């Protein structure tokens, strides 16, 4: 890592960024700032100036300044991935063949596979093994442009292993350049030892897990998989309200596979975001719009589960701020690449390249309470900057399936080049 107290990036062909310290909704989501032939100046990890190349003043460059010649390429804010299941033991490649033979995601889960098989591997894995595995995925994420990332627990499903998973996230946050934002998701599935005793497991979450997570300051958010055969709306509400009383902000895995009213529940409990929303109803969408809930959409999961795609354009028209995320996990979306997600959002959601950029930067940052710090290229914001092997924003969502990131700058330091 090259330490740069002062950094100037010049000769940027196109600088593209949303603007502001909070999420953008409706038509605003597609209004981004475009500056051609631009420079960015950075000092002490923050952006100090942005302008046209011809305005680049000498005083911005001294003997210690590192100067990057962007050679006419595209610059954007670092990508923010607001929904990942980063910490897990093992993978689940065998499930692909089962799916090809016709087994559904929830069928595999009820057969003790799916999330529950990952729980077994996660419980068996040591703290250090999980750290090493998580680090490998974070290296890939960073190389594909993700600089800030939310990470959920949810493959421990007992007090010890949920706490272990959250401590893995804490450790990874210390040792890796990607900034991590932790979410407690003990309500990801009913573990084997509690099958048929969901109420007892919910009691464990409410009375032991949540108080301990809050006391040890291990998470900012509490997420629930509100789904058929997992947690129904009433159980999800109960868990999220308990989380709130302990200072954990609610998030909801809502209407992913079955329309259970998760979107309306997210609005009702004042969740910061509702996520997935593939089968969100008209009422759910209206409720979210009224409550100001951010939609985190995960088109990679629709693709991988061979499901339909969430109604992103309707949500934008109704004034819901839309964010995009990878949902990186071993079952329903085994990819670290948020770049692929940007392309899918364009092709399958029909979002414009501008709406997509806002969704994966500023709105994504707002969905994890970080939009005053990252998510846009503006004076005063953290200098998390991507230079792309791409001349403009259109090319970024057009040339797909390959890695277009050239240089990653995190807090003014070059971390990938």
From the list ligand NIG, Fe ion, none, partner contacted by residue 332 (C-beta under 5 to 8 A by kind): ligand NIG
> Is residue 243 a contact point for ligand NIG (CB under 6 A)?
no
Give SS3 for 194: helix
Q: Is 153 in the site for ligand NIG (CB under 6 A)?
A: no
Least Å distance, CB 210 to ligand NIG, is: 19
Distance from chain centroid for Cα 385 = 17
Residue 259 C-beta: closest distance to Fe ion, Å: 17
DSSP state for residue 193 in the 8-state scheme: G
Distance between CA atoms of residues 107 and 115, nearest Å: 12
Q: How many helices (H) and strands (E) does the chain have?
A: 16, 16
Assess 118 for contact with ligand NIG (CB under 6 A): yes
In the complex, least distance from residue 63 CB atom to ligand NIG, rounded to whole angstroms:
50
Tell me which of 331, 353, 375, 412 binds ligand NIG, using CB under 6 A: 331
Applying CB under 6 A, among 301, 363, 371, 382 the residue interacting with ligand NIG is 301
> Which one, 81 or 256, has the nearer CB to ligand NIG?
256
Q: Which is nearer to Fe ion, 227 or 327 (CB)?
A: 327
Return all residues near 53 (Cβ < 8 A) that are at least 6 apart: 10, 11, 12, 37, 38, 39
Interacting residue with ligand NIG among 330, 353, 375, 412 (CB under 6 A): 330
Show the site string, 332-351: x = touches ligand NIG by CB under 6 A, - = not. x-------------------
Among left, alpha and beta (phi > 0; psi -120 to 50; other), residue 72 is left
Task: List binding-site positions.
Answer: 83, 85, 92, 155, 188, 253, 256, 327, 329, 331-332
Binding site for Fe ion (CB under 5 A): 327
Smallest separation (angstroms) from ligand NIG to the CB of 189: 8
Q: Which residues pair with 76 in a beta bridge?
A: 386
Could you list the residues known to form a binding site for 4-imidazolone-5-propanoate, using ranges: 92, 155, 188, 256, 332
Q: How far are the Cα atoms of 167, 188, 255, 280, 320 from residue 295, in angstroms, in the given order?
A: 28, 19, 12, 11, 7
Question: How many Cα neighbours within 13 Å face the side chain of 43?
Answer: 9
Cα–Cα nearest to 329, from 138, 85, 92: 85
225 binds ligand NIG per the rule CB under 6 A: yes
* Beta carbon nearer to ligand NIG, 332 or 411: 332
Separation of alpha carbons 382 and 48, rounded Å = 10
Would you say 120 or 394 has its CB closer to ligand NIG?
120
What is the rounded CA–CA span in Å between residue 263 and residue 226? 10
Q: Give 20 or 104: the residue with its C-beta nearer to ligand NIG.
A: 104
- Least spacing, CB of residue 58 vs Fe ion, in Å: 50
Q: Which stretch binds ligand NIG (CB under 6 A): 39-47, 213-221, 280-288, 328-336?
A: 328-336
When asked if residue 253 is in the footprint of ligand NIG (CB under 6 A), the reply is yes
Q: How far apart are CA 286 and CA 325, in angstroms?
A: 22
Choose the stretch contacting ligand NIG; rule: CB under 6 A; options: 2-10, 26-34, 134-142, 326-334.
Answer: 326-334
- Should residue 279 be labelled a site residue for ligand NIG when binding is judged by CB under 6 A? no
Number of residue whose CB is nearest ligand NIG: 331
- Kindly report the number of other CB atoms within 10 A of residue 7's CB atom: 26
Is there binding between residue 165 and ligand NIG (CB under 6 A)? no
- Residue 220 vs 227, nearer CB to ligand NIG: 227
Q: Calculate the CA 94 to chain-centre distance.
A: 26
**Where in 77-116 is the site for ligand NIG (CB under 6 A)?**
85, 114-115
Q: How far apart are CA 229 and CA 350, in angstroms?
A: 32
**Which ranges constitute the DSSP H helices of 3-145?**
94-100, 105-110, 115-124, 127-143
Q: Does 284 bind ligand NIG (CB under 6 A)?
A: no
Give one word for 88, left, alpha or beta, with left for phi > 0 and alpha for psi -120 to 50.
beta
Give the helix ranges, DSSP H, for 292-336. 299-305, 312-317
251 binds ligand NIG (CB under 6 A): no
331 binds, among ligand NIG, Fe ion, none (CB under 5 to 8 A by kind): ligand NIG
Interface residues with ligand NIG (CB under 6 A) are 85, 114-115, 118, 225, 253, 256, 301, 327, 329-332
């Amino acid at each position: 890592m090259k330490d740069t107290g002062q950094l100037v990036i010049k000769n940027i062909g196109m600088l593209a960024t949303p603007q502001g310290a909070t999420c953008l909704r409706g038509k605003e989501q597609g209004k981004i700032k475009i500056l051609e032939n631009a420079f960015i100046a950075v000092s002490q990890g923050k952006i100090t100036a942005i302008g046209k190349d011809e305005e680049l003043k000498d005083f911005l460059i001294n003997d210690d300044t590192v100067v990057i010649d962007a050679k006419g390429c595209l610059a954007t804010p670092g990508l923010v991935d607001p929904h990942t299941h980063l910490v897990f033991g093992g993978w689940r490649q065998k499930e692909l063949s089962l799916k090809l033979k016709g087994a559904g995601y929830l069928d595999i889960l009820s057969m003790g596979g799916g999330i529950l098989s990952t729980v077994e591997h996660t419980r068996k894995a040591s703290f250090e093994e999980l750290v090493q595995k998580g680090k490998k995925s974070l290296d890939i994420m960073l190389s594909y442009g993700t600089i800030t990332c939310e990470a959920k627990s949810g493959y421990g499903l007992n007090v010890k292993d949920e706490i272990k998973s959250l401590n893995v996230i804490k450790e990874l946050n210390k040792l890796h350049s990607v900034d991590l934002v932790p979410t407690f998701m003990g309500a990801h599935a009913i573990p084997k030892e509690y099958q048929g005793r969901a109420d007892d497991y919910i009691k464990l979450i409410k009375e032991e897990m949540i108080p301990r997570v809050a006391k040890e300051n291990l998470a900012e958010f509490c997420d629930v998989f509100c789904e058929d055969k997992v947690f129904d709306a009433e159980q999800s509400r109960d868990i999220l309200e308990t989380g709130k009383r302990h200072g954990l902000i609610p998030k909801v895995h809502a209407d992913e596979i079955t329309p259970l009213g998760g979107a309306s529940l997210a609005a009702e409990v004042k969740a910061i975001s509702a996520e997935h929303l593939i089968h969100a109803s008209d009422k759910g969408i209206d409720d979210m719009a009224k409550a100001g809930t951010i939609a985190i959409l995960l088109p990679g999961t629709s693709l991988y589960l061979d499901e339909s795609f969430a109604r992103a354009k309707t949500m934008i028209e109704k004034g819901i701020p839309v964010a995009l995320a990878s949902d990186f996990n071993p079952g329903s979306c085994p990819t670290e690449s948020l770049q692929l997600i940007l392309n899918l959002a364009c092709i399958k959601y029909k979002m414009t390249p501008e709406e997509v950029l806002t969704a994966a930067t500023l709105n994504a940052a707002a969905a994890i309470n970080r939009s005053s710090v990252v998510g846009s290229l503006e004076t005063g914001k953290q200098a998390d900057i991507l230079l792309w092997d791409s001349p403009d924003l259109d090319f970024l969502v057009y040339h797909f399936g390959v890695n277009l990131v050239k240089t990653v700058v995190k807090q003014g330091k070059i971390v990938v080049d």
